Amino acid sequence: MKKRILAIFLASVMAVGLIAGCGGKSEEKTTDTKEETQKEEATGEKIEGGSIVRAMPTDISSLNILYETGDEGMTMLKPVYDPLYIVSKDGVRYYLAESHEVSDDGLTITVKLRDNLKWHDGESITTDDVLWNFEFRMNPDNKSSSGTKVNQKPVTVEKIDELTFSVKLPEVSASYVATLGSMKLIPKHVYEGEENIASSALNTTQGVGSGPYKVKEWKKGESLTLEKFDDYYRDVNLDTVIFKIMPNESAQEIAFENGELNIIRVSTIDKYEKYAANDNYEMVTLDEGRINYMGFNSNSELMKNIEARKAIATALDVSAIVEGAYGSDDIAVPAKTVFCDQNFYYEDIDGYKHDLEEAKKLVKEAGLEGKTLQLVYNSSRANMEDCALIIQQQLKEVGINVEVTGY
């Protein structure tokens, strides 16, 4: 009997208005000791074909990834839309692009696309698609301006040939190379002529992308089925990927144990220990690359005061939040910055130290003592309610009242 997989997406928790996020570890764990699995690992053999079924707590809101607003939705659509390239601390991984070059003065980036790229409907992907994507993003009515500006100043895009284009920056930007690479393209021939792409009906009917999987069927509120794109430029192993919409974690567990799902996410130490002790399941630990954070409302008069923000940051014990909400550093680890340690811009720095007595002093000085703050959390994401309740208790200890609300 094949083992089913439990994915442990390692998060990091960060306070200061920041809670939980990217992995502090990079490892893969498995409880599988069966001879046939060891053989597969030793020989590097891949299983061709088949399908995988995974549960997701929420559905997508659009088949156009540029207008998908949910994290889970982005996860579901990423196999449908490839970026140009991704810059990480380990180097550059190319997707639609085969190369990029930055001029000596840092003001021009030249990108060359792979030859024979295809959209999922069979049409060719060329620099005309790239230029059109910049053009429609620059239209404020389309509400998708990412990659078109540096410090609010527009970039200029030029076509060199059918597969090569350049982007000229108004000023040097250390981050723009990565921003450009992460851009997801949508097909010009599908959307050209739409008066307002942001509100186009095509966003819920088309979903024509460039990734390893294309949309086969979307049953709103039930499932999203993706199938292998045969003209993809790399090998694709699985034939089908199915996301089932199941908001309830208990229902996900039951479906997983009944064989209806191939993989589920383990979000608590209790579940981790339960499945790790069962040889019928394989445990895999992955760095999720996510920063779950508590952000300060800059429109609040209280939060505009940096001393108030320092007081809250000093009051929060991030390690206690991790232990209380997740139960183990096998599930989450404290983060140190807003960047995951896999990110190109990550630096190992020390943030605010938890100091209860200092926090009480700062709370009084900042005028926060006895004040009531609102803390809103994402109720569709595992562990967020527990994080919010622990934060509520920690701030109460220094004289701040917190009202917690899920959305």
Listed by start position, the domains of the chain span: 85-191, 296-332+353-406
pLDDT at 21: 30
Alpha carbon distances (Å) from 357 to 321, 322, 360: 19, 21, 5
Enter the CATH code of domain 296-332+353-406: 3.10.105.10
Whether residue 68 is predicted with pLDDT greater than 80 in this model: the reply is yes
Architecture per CATH, 85-191: Alpha-Beta Complex (3.90)
pLDDT-based confidence at 398, cuts 50/70/90?
Answer: very high
- Residues 193-252 have pLDDT tens digits of 888 898 999 999 999 999 999 999 999 999 999 999 999 999 999 999 999 999 998 999
Whether residue 72 is predicted with pLDDT greater than 50 in this model: the reply is yes
pLDDT at 44: 45
Indicate the pTM of the whole model. Answer: 0.75
